[in-house]
Chain A
Amino acid sequence: MVTNTSQEAIDLDAPWISQEDLPVEKYQIVDEDGGYDPDDVPDLEETEFLDLYRWMLVEKRYAERMIKLQRRGQMGTVGSSRGHEASIVGSGYALQDGDWLLGMGRETSAMLQRGVSLRDIILFWRGVEDAQRFLTEQNCMIGISVGGYLPMTTGVGWGMNLTDTDAVVTAHFGDGATSTGAFHEAVNFAGVLDAPAIFYCQNNQWAISTPFEKQTNANSIAQRGLGYGVHGIRVDGNDVLAVYDAMREARELARAGHPVLFEALTYRTEGHSTSDDPTEYRGREEVEEWLERDPIERYESFLKSEGLWDAVDKEALVAEVDEEFSAAVEAADAYGPRDVDELFEYVYEDLPPILRGQLDEMEGDLEDLDDLEAYIERRPKG
Chain B
Amino acid sequence: MAETIINAINMALREEMERDDGVVVFGEDVAETGGVFRATEGLKEQFGGDRVVDTPLSEIAIAGGAVGLAVFGLRPVAEIQFSGFLPPAFDQLVTHASRIRWRTRGQWSAPMVVRTPYGAGIRALEHHSESLEGAYAHVPGLQVVIPSTPYDTKGLLKSAIRSPDPVLFMEPKHIYRSVREDVPDDDYEVPIGEAAVRREGEDVTVISWGAMMQKTLEAVDRIDADAEVIDLRTISPMDRETVVESVKKTGRCVVVHEAPYSGGWASEIIATINDEVLMYLEAPVERITGYDIPVPLLSMEDYYIPHPPRIAAGIEDVLDY
Interface presence of B136 (CB below 8 A):
no
Give chain A nearest CB distance to B221 CB in angstroms. 13
Give chain A nearest CB distance to B110 CB in angstroms. 20
The answer to whether A180 and B300 touch across the interface, beta carbons within 8 angstroms, is: no
The answer to whether A210 and B56 touch across the interface, beta carbons within 8 angstroms, is: yes
Contact A148 to B88, CB < 8 A, known contacts A128-B297, A343-B293, A372-B309? yes
Interface presence of B171 (CB below 8 A):
no
Q: Select the stretch in B124-132, B179-187, B234-242, B247-255 that faces chain A.
A: B124-132
Interface presence of B33 (CB below 8 A):
yes
Give residues of chain B (262-301) contacting chain A, Cβ–Cβ below 8 Å.
262, 291-294, 296-301
Which B residues lie within 8 Å of A144 (CB)? 84, 125-128
The answer to whether B28 and A208 touch across the interface, beta carbons within 8 angstroms, is: yes
Contact A347 to B294, CB < 8 A, known contacts A144-B127, A179-B56? yes
Chain A interface, >50% SS class: loop
Q: Give which listed residue, A127, A207, A362, A368, contacts B57 with CB less than 8 A.
A: A207
The answer to whether B88 and A181 touch across the interface, beta carbons within 8 angstroms, is: yes
Interface presence of B202 (CB below 8 A):
no
The answer to whether B123 and A376 touch across the interface, beta carbons within 8 angstroms, is: no
Contact A343 to B127, CB < 8 A, known contacts A145-B85, A181-B60, A369-B309? no
Which A residues lie within 8 Å of B303 (CB)? 340, 343, 362, 376
Interface presence of B231 (CB below 8 A):
no
- In the complex, the chain A residue whose C-beta lies closest to that of B312 is A369
- In the complex, the chain A residue whose C-beta lies closest to that of B124 is A77
Which A residues lie within 8 Å of B307 (CB)? 372, 375-376
- In the complex, the chain A residue whose C-beta lies closest to that of B305 is A375
Q: Scoring A residues 333 to 352 as 1 if CB is less than 8 Å from chain B, else 0, what string do you get? A: 00000101001100100000
Give chain B nearest CB distance to A353 CB in angstroms. 11
Which B residues lie within 8 Å of A148 (CB)? 88
Give chain A nearest CB distance to B311 CB in angstroms. 10
Q: Scoring A residues 217 to 260 as 1 if CB is less than 8 Å from chain B, else 0, what string do you get? A: 00000000000000000000000000000000000000000000
- In the complex, the chain B residue whose C-beta lies closest to that of A278 is B33
Give chain B nearest CB distance to A347 CB in angstroms. 5
Most buried by A among B57, B84, B124, B302: B57
Which B residues lie within 8 Å of A280 (CB)? 32-33
Q: A118–B300 Cα gap in the complex (Å)?
A: 21
Give chain B nearest CB distance to A76 CB in angstroms. 5
Interface presence of A314 (CB below 8 A):
no
Which A residues lie within 8 Å of B2 (CB)? none
The answer to whether B299 and A380 touch across the interface, beta carbons within 8 angstroms, is: yes
Q: A299–B305 Cα gap in the complex (Å)?
A: 49
Interface presence of A209 (CB below 8 A):
yes
Interface presence of A147 (CB below 8 A):
yes
Interface presence of B79 (CB below 8 A):
no
- In the complex, the chain A residue whose C-beta lies closest to that of B215 is A375
Which A residues lie within 8 Å of B125 (CB)? 76-77, 127, 144
- In the complex, the chain B residue whose C-beta lies closest to that of A182 is B88
The answer to whether A181 and B299 touch across the interface, beta carbons within 8 angstroms, is: no
Which A residues lie within 8 Å of B50 (CB)? 1
Interface presence of A370 (CB below 8 A):
yes
The answer to whether A358 and B124 touch across the interface, beta carbons within 8 angstroms, is: no
Which B residues lie within 8 Å of A369 (CB)? 309-310, 313
Give chain A nearest CB distance to B318 CB in angstroms. 15
The answer to whether A176 and B292 touch across the interface, beta carbons within 8 angstroms, is: no
Give residues of chain A (117-147) contacting chain B, Cβ–Cβ below 8 Å.
126-129, 144-147
Which A residues lie within 8 Å of B297 (CB)? 127-129
Q: Give which listed residue, A354, A368, A375, A378, contacts B308 with CB less than 8 A.
A: A375
Give chain A nearest CB distance to B104 CB in angstroms. 24
Contact A344 to B291, CB < 8 A, known contacts A145-B84, A181-B88? yes
The answer to whether B310 and A216 touch across the interface, beta carbons within 8 angstroms, is: no
Interface presence of B304 (CB below 8 A):
yes
Interface presence of B165 (CB below 8 A):
no
Which A residues lie within 8 Å of B124 (CB)? 76-77
Interface presence of A281 (CB below 8 A):
yes
Interface presence of A275 (CB below 8 A):
yes
Interface presence of A365 (CB below 8 A):
yes
Give chain A nearest CB distance to B278 CB in angstroms. 24
Which B residues lie within 8 Å of A376 (CB)? 302-303, 307
Give chain B nearest CB distance to A191 CB in angstroms. 20
The answer to whether B29 and A208 touch across the interface, beta carbons within 8 angstroms, is: yes
Interface presence of A355 (CB below 8 A):
yes
The answer to whether A216 and B299 touch across the interface, beta carbons within 8 angstroms, is: no
Contact A176 to B293, CB < 8 A, known contacts A127-B123, A358-B261? no
Give chain B nearest CB distance to A214 CB in angstroms. 6
Q: Give which listed residue, B32, B84, B292, B293, contacts A209 with CB less than 8 A.
A: B32
Which A residues lie within 8 Å of B58 (CB)? 179-181
Binding site for B on A (CB under 8 A): 1, 76-77, 126-129, 144-148, 176-177, 179-182, 207-210, 214-216, 275-276, 280-281, 338, 340, 343-344, 347, 354-355, 358-359, 362, 365, 368-372, 375-382
CB pairs A–B below 8 angstroms (28 shown): A126-B299, A127-B123, A127-B125, A127-B296, A128-B297, A144-B126, A144-B128, A145-B84, A179-B57, A181-B60, A181-B88, A209-B32, A209-B33, A210-B29, A210-B57, A338-B299, A343-B291, A344-B293, A347-B292, A354-B261, A354-B292, A355-B292, A370-B309, A375-B308, A375-B309, A378-B302, A379-B123, A381-B299
Binding site for A on B (CB under 8 A): 28-29, 32-33, 36, 50, 54-61, 84-85, 87-88, 123-128, 261-262, 291-294, 296-305, 307-310, 313
Extra 13 A-B pairs, beta carbons < 8 Å, given A376-B302, A379-B123, A380-B298: A128-B299, A144-B127, A145-B127, A146-B57, A181-B61, A208-B28, A210-B32, A210-B57, A216-B56, A343-B300, A368-B313, A372-B307, A375-B308
Q: Which 4 A-B pairs have the closest CB atoms?
A: A127-B298, A382-B299, A127-B297, A179-B56
